[in-house]
Amino acid sequence: MRTLCENVKDSDIGKEFTLKGWVMRYRDHGGLIFIDLRDCSGIMQVVFDENLDKESFKTAKKIKNEYVVSITGTVGKRPEGTENAELKTGTIEISAMRIQIINASETLPFQIDEEADVNEFTRLKYRYLDLRSKRLKDNLIFRSKFNHAVRRFLDDEGFLDIETPFLTKSTPEGSRDFLVPSRLNRGHFFALPQSPQLFKQILMVGGFEKYYQIVRCFRDEDLRADRQPEFTQLDIEMSFVEMKDIMSLTEELFKTIFKSLLGIELDLPFKIMDYDDAMNIYGSDKPDTRFGLLIASLSNIFCNSSMNLFKNAISNGGAIKAICFQGGSNILSRKDIDELLSIAKDFGAKGLAWTKVADNGALEGGISKFISENEKISVIEKTGAKNGDIIFYQADEKKTANMVLGRLRLYLAKKYKLIPKNRFELLWVVDFPLFEYSEEEKKTVSVHHPFTAPAEKDLEILELNPLSAKSDSYDLVLNGEEIGGGSIRIHNPKLQGKIFDILAISREEARLKFGFLLDALSFGAPPHGGIAFGIDRILMLLRNENSIRDVIAFPKTQKAYCPLSDAPSAVKDKQIKELGIRLSDTRI
């Protein structure tokens, strides 16, 4: 019978136990050997004494790191002064009487649980070793608890966990699909789902009023620290609901999770921000509200500016926007400002104007000599600038000015460490436009997806000026990361048709792509809506990690390669032939 390390207590002193696990550390003192034994529950120190049992002592001499062993011995209190406060079991130890080496280990390619960052590629290649480290182990335990808490909450709320297909139909809208050739239907392909969007809506038509699923999604796009080709969503859909119902369900869900997993009491309801405000004040549709550096609009102040830069921007229909960096005039050297200029240019800025606020309250340096006294007073008021601050300006199309300052804001906050640690700011962003104009495709496209319901108040203007219509959709933002989003869906086939018209999607095209959904909606579809959350991102933020790879057991590199399994890899010609496909080049 085997006992786990964490289950051996001070009160067990004198009792005999058998522990099984890995040798985490090995300290040979000649006539006395210590090992730190690790199992899934924790760590226990084991002592081998030459005088206690000659045979087991001899075996213990052969032990190396990460050997798997079985140890039988009695629990003893550690001699006074040798307790280890770092360990939960630091007041006791096992005096070994028998040891069996169950399995030896090769010398490790890297040391487990070291402070030094081992090359991530090596860690991924030997992922099973990295998984033995406390950090990754704790992350995956947390992930399991998170999923469990979500399921318990939604189950209690009457939701049903229903699985949807992985082999499904390619929908060229949205992200690039992973395709799966069909052997039985030559020349035809399945696609792995980007999300179960269409199926969950059909489940609503099928009468399951509350659905959820913790489900893998696939998108064949380039990777980032927060983007893997396969990732996990918490997918939710409900019938007979409005925005506020989905939002309050979400808030209760997060409140429950934060409380049970982190012991944090969230204030409800979450803050709500309009999309327009998010863009105008934070320069982003996923604002990080943990710090200031808010974007001010100065267009009104400078409409009669003596400076061509500002005057022209406004007469061309653009805007003057600014952020004020508190205390920046002392922190930033001229070189730093030049560097910021080059960074702003990388962001798409034409330049970066600036003024310092001197100790006497005057504007100094940069473009200050072009700013009149009256303009100065208004600038100070609008930006909230104080003596010792520095103000950065953008004169450009409003969208560009917001975007540049929004990114500059994040850059400054990171570089000068303005972001408070251990704080979670949850925020709804609502009132997204329903459509936007795609320069690339030269047509109107959906901001969310084509099944998103227009806001009721904008049904009228849908035909006259579709680009100004808002949608019944909502994004959930945590610390400047989009962690979820959803919408109320269109359940009326007539309205759906109108949307397709605006998107210039013909009836034939719509039938070809989403026919099965349109059919379903025509047979008495209930009003419905839902939301989906990026579980990997949420876990990354809650665990204070910089990449979702650290909360995924087996992630891929930025080239979408798995060093552990060597996937993707070439396949036999026979396999390709069977599928009725041919490779166009053999560069593999």
Site residues, RNA (CB under 7 A): 25, 27-32, 34, 36, 45, 47, 49-51, 64-65, 78-79, 81-84, 86-87, 90, 93, 107-111, 114, 116-122, 173-176, 194-195, 197, 219, 221-227, 440, 445-450, 546-547, 549, 557-559, 561
Closer residue to RNA (CB): 464 or 588: 588
- Asked whether 476 and 424 are in contact (CB, 8 A), the reply is no
- Asked whether 412 and 325 are in contact (CB, 8 A), the reply is yes
Per-position b or e across 199-233, b if 16+ CB within 10 A of its CB: bbbbbbbeebbbbbbbbebbbeeebeebbbbbbbb
Closest CB 504 distance from RNA, rounded Å:
15
Closest CB 588 distance from RNA, rounded Å:
11
Joined tokens for residue 115? 């402070």
As a whole number of Å, the end-to-end CA separation of the chain is 52
Inter-axis angle of helices 243-257 and 134-156, nearest 10: 130
Helix (H, G, I), strand (E, B) or coil at 25: strand
Residue type, 231: F
CA distance linking residue 22 with residue 43, whole number of Å: 9
Closest CB 465 distance from RNA, rounded Å:
20
Give me the phi and psi of 485, to 5 degrees please.
-165, 155
Closer residue to RNA (CB): 229 or 351: 229
CA distance linking residue 213 with residue 236, whole number of Å: 7
Closest CB 223 distance from RNA, rounded Å:
7
Closer residue to RNA (CB): 70 or 444: 444
Closest CB 364 distance from RNA, rounded Å:
32
Closest CB 199 distance from RNA, rounded Å:
11
Closer residue to RNA (CB): 110 or 554: 110
DSSP 290-322: TS--PEEE-TTTTTT-S-HHHHHHHHTT-EEEE
Closest to 62 measured CA to CA, from 93, 102, 95: 102
| Burial class of 311 by CB neighbour count within 10 A (0 to 12, 13 to 18, 19+) | middle
- Asked whether 56 and 45 are in contact (CB, 8 A), the reply is no
Closer residue to RNA (CB): 30 or 317: 30
Closer residue to RNA (CB): 119 or 360: 119
Pairing of the two strands 528-534 and 230-239: antiparallel
Closer residue to RNA (CB): 257 or 434: 434
Helix (H, G, I), strand (E, B) or coil at 580: coil
Closest CB 33 distance from RNA, rounded Å:
8
Tell me the chain's radius of gyration from C-alpha atoms. Answer: 30
Give me the phi and psi of 509, to 5 degrees please.
-60, -45
Closest CB 389 distance from RNA, rounded Å:
27
Joined tokens for residue 538? 């949420």
Q: How distant, in Å, are the alpha carbons of 325, 353, 380, 389 from that of 361?
A: 15, 18, 9, 10
Closest CB 171 distance from RNA, rounded Å:
7
Closer residue to RNA (CB): 31 or 327: 31
Closer residue to RNA (CB): 225 or 362: 225
Closest CB 326 distance from RNA, rounded Å:
25
Closest CB 306 distance from RNA, rounded Å:
34
Closer residue to RNA (CB): 36 or 536: 36
Closer residue to RNA (CB): 174 or 365: 174
